Structure 1
Amino acid sequence: MDETWDGRIAAFWADAGSRDPKTLLAAMTELVREQPEGDPAALYELASVHDFLGHESQAIPLYQAALDGSLDGERKPQAVIQLASSLRNVGRAPEAVSLLEDFPEDPTTGSASRAFLALALFDAGRSREALQVALAALAPTLPLYSGTVAAYADELEEPGTQGRQ
């Protein structure tokens, strides 16, 4: 068992689904207290547990503080995506779109940012763009019809096109 802070964080998340919310939050709070105040990784983990518990409004400022505090490594792309998802969930879809529009794919998260961008675009009333983003992200993963789906996604990108029947 990895007794480092990161190892104990990994163990926390591996067991998170089987714990009650009060215990879960208390356990993460204890882990966070082990780090220096304002530590970006600790802020991110605390934000994540609030998010996991459905307390997006409490998670948002923690994600923002973690990112403002120069969060790096694998946690950074996750924090951006999770912040955008939380913003969307509290009715702030345009802010989520702004965060994700130019966010690059990352080895840690793959195309997840595109999926969350599609959701945010949809919630922002931009359903055509949402479909285009979703299809463009899906196309490269298809063993058949990849080129066709990519072409349809391209057609959706151009305003005023009707697409093929």
Structure 2
Amino acid sequence: MTTDPYGGRLARAVRLRADGQAEQARELLLSLRAEFPDDAVVAYQTAWAHDVLDLEAEAVPHYRAAIAGDLPETDLRDALLGLGSTLRALGRDEEAAEVFGQALARFPADRPLRVFRAMLRYNTGDAREAVADLLRLLADTTEDPDIRRYGRAISHYAEDLDRGWLG
């Protein structure tokens, strides 16, 4: 039988954030970070609480600590997405590109990561690749029968936006 090293406080903080009480969650999580400074899950939850409160700059070191630690795969993917998105929001585009590159190397098929990278590409002036990325995602994921009918053409256009497809 395993015991909860946090005494229920981490679960309480997650509930508080989910219930819209992010400031209370943040305070509790900062207390847990002081007590468990090397705990990747606590760092990840702390970063998330800061992001919810639009405290992006304060979220970054918590995301970095979480990613450097031993996170479960799902949390790692979410932490990489959160850090990349937060860096993008802060205008730290080169760092965001590095994070999204690392994330997509580890999780190449992850669609939300691809969408957030496309937004970054748009912000950095690479609108062509941003649109191509989004077209590929649309062609791969849509359930809309009218768009699916043109899926092959959309995929080809994504490869060469200037010329398109004549097939």
Same fold (TM over 0.5): yes
Q: Residue 114 of structure 1 aligns with which residue?
A: 114
Structure 1 residue 22: Cα displacement: 3.6
* 1:149 maps to 2:150: no
Q: Pairwise CA RMSD of aligned residues?
A: 2.6
Identity %: 29
* 1:12 maps to 2:16: yes
Q: Residue 73 of structure 2 aligns with which residue?
A: 73
Moved more, 33-42 or 67-76: 33-42
Structure 2 Cα separation of the partners of residues 4 and 122 of structure 1: 42
Structure 2 Cα separation of the partners of residues 5 and 137 of structure 1: 39
Q: Aligned pair in 2 of structure 1 residues 27, 150: CA closer, same or farther (>3 Å)?
A: same
Q: Which runs of 5+ in 2 are unaligned?
A: 1-6
Structure 2 Cα separation of the partners of residues 60 and 51 of structure 1: 9
Structure 1 Cα separation of the partners of residues 34 and 74 of structure 2: 20
- 1:119-130 equivalence runs, <5 A: 119-130=119-130
Structure 2 Cα separation of the partners of residues 13 and 23 of structure 1: 8
Q: Is the 8 A contact 2:60 2:83 kept in 1?
A: yes
Q: Is the 8 A contact 2:33 2:43 kept in 1?
A: no
Structure 2 Cα separation of the partners of residues 11 and 121 of structure 1: 34
Q: Is the 8 A contact 1:64 1:83 kept in 2?
A: yes
Q: Aligned pair in 2 of structure 1 residues 58, 148: CA closer, same or farther (>3 Å)?
A: same
Q: Residue 100 of structure 1 aligns with which residue?
A: 100
Structure 2 Cα separation of the partners of residues 24 and 6 of structure 1: 9
Q: Is the 8 A contact 2:9 2:28 kept in 1?
A: no
Structure 1 Cα separation of the partners of residues 37 and 74 of structure 2: 21
Q: Report the TM-score, using the length of structure 1 for normalisation.
A: 0.78
